[in-house]
Structure 1
Amino acid sequence: PLWNANARGSFFGLGLHHKKEHLIRAVLEGVIYNLYTVLLALKELIGEPKKIQATGGFARSELWRQMMADIFHQDVYVPESFESSCLGAAILGLYSLGEIDTLHVVSEMVGADFHHEPNMESVEKYKDLTPIYIRLSRQLEEEYESIAAYQKKWV
């Protein structure tokens, strides 16, 4: 993941044929790609996840959910309650207090409303793009500092 508060968004590969909708989609893809880099870091620590559950505001968007399934190359499930952060915090609190023995009770409390399977054509496209995204993020590291300093001074 890009652990840099000075990181800025950028567009790469723009051509004259690109339109507003291409830019909007690129922003959405950038958000999901950043989540994917977090997943890659977690995989190094805990191994392959058994299930991807998406929650929060972005999980309301069918487009974002499908993008996540395609970029992650995994099924994505969305619980009935999009906003389940409070439930997660409460469950972790109960677990830390010893009131519940396992975190698996969450699955019993929250059913899945949506299920997205990866679209293999999209998976292949994103698989080709992933190393470019990661490489660019690393190569722009110094430039993030420069643009942040410029913006602090002039914007």
Structure 2
Amino acid sequence: VEIEKAKASGLDSYEILTDMASAIAPGSDGLIFHPYMAGERAPLWSADARGSFFGLALHHTRDHMVRAVLEGVMYNLYSVLLAVRELAGAPEKIHASGGFVRSKLWRQIMADVFNQNVTIPESFESSSLGAAVLGLYALGEIESLDEVEGMIGDTNELVPIEANV
């Protein structure tokens, strides 16, 4: 249905889905999604883990399910952050990049779940730049990764919404 709406409106189907999710309050009215559709890597490391909806009730709509999926994925990422904190301490700053940061809703969910400011770089897709920088570092063209900090401009910093934390 959303793909057909996207084709008819000229929008991206993910944009339509995030619009649906944004109509639902944080917490998805008690609906929880476990995002283990093909097993899970960090921090569970289990190929046998499976996804599911928990707490599904008659009042939940497709919009609730989409919101629960977004939140479930982000809470799983948060569990990775907790594991990193145990090993290396709390990060001073969270930088996020990749396709999901194009969505204001995804970015806000991240800030709220992590209860920490999240900085989005100027370029949403930073993987290529990161690979190039690591290559320069490996070749000895730059002495420290601190030298490249200015290459990535910050365009947006999201602050957790206290009521959503």
Normalising by structure 2, report the TM-score. Answer: 0.71
1:3 aligns with 2:45: yes
- Counterparts in 2 of 1:82-121, with a 5 A limit? 82-121=124-163
For 2:102 and 2:155, locate their aligned partners in 1 and report how far apart those are by CA, in whole Å: 11
- Give the one of 41, 53, 66 matched to 2:108: 66
- Give the C-alpha shift of residue 116 in structure 1: 0.5
For 2:94 and 2:57, locate their aligned partners in 1 and report how far apart those are by CA, in whole Å: 34
- Give the C-alpha shift of residue 32 in structure 1: 0.7
Q: Which segments of 5 or more consecutive residues in structure 1 lack a partner in the other structure?
A: 124-155
Letter in structure 1 aligned against 2:47: A
SS in 1 for 2:120: strand
For 1:12 and 1:101, locate their aligned partners in 2 and report how far apart those are by CA, in whole Å: 50
Instruction: Give the aligned partner of residue 45 of structure 1.
Output: 87
Letter in structure 2 aligned against 1:106: V
- Give the one of 117, 138, 152 matched to 1:75: 117
Which structure is richer in relative contact order (CA contacts within 8 A, separation 6 or more)?
1
Letter in structure 1 aligned against 2:83: A
Letter in structure 2 aligned against 1:107: E
For 2:100 and 2:85, locate their aligned partners in 1 and report how far apart those are by CA, in whole Å: 22
1:23 aligns with 2:65: yes
Q: Bigger CA drift: 13-22 or 60-69?
A: 13-22
For 1:104 and 1:93, locate their aligned partners in 2 and report how far apart those are by CA, in whole Å: 14
- Give the C-alpha shift of residue 72 in structure 1: 0.4
Letter in structure 1 aligned against 2:75: Y
Contact 1:2 1:34 in 2 (8 A): no
Count of residues in Structure 1 that have an aligned counterpart in Structure 2: 123
Cα RMSD for the two superposed structures:
1.2
Contact 1:91 1:106 in 2 (8 A): yes
Normalising by structure 1, report the TM-score. Answer: 0.75
For 2:101 and 2:148, locate their aligned partners in 1 and report how far apart those are by CA, in whole Å: 18
Letter in structure 2 aligned against 1:64: W
- Give the C-alpha shift of residue 117 in structure 1: 0.1
* Cα-to-partner distance string for 1:118-153 (whole Å, 9 max, x where unaligned): 011100xxxxxxxxxxxxxxxxxxxxxxxxxxxxxx
Letter in structure 1 aligned against 2:119: Y
Identical aligned pairs, as a percentage?
A: 63
Any runs of at least 4 consecutive aligned residues in structure 1 with deviations exceeding 6 A, and if so which?
Answer: none
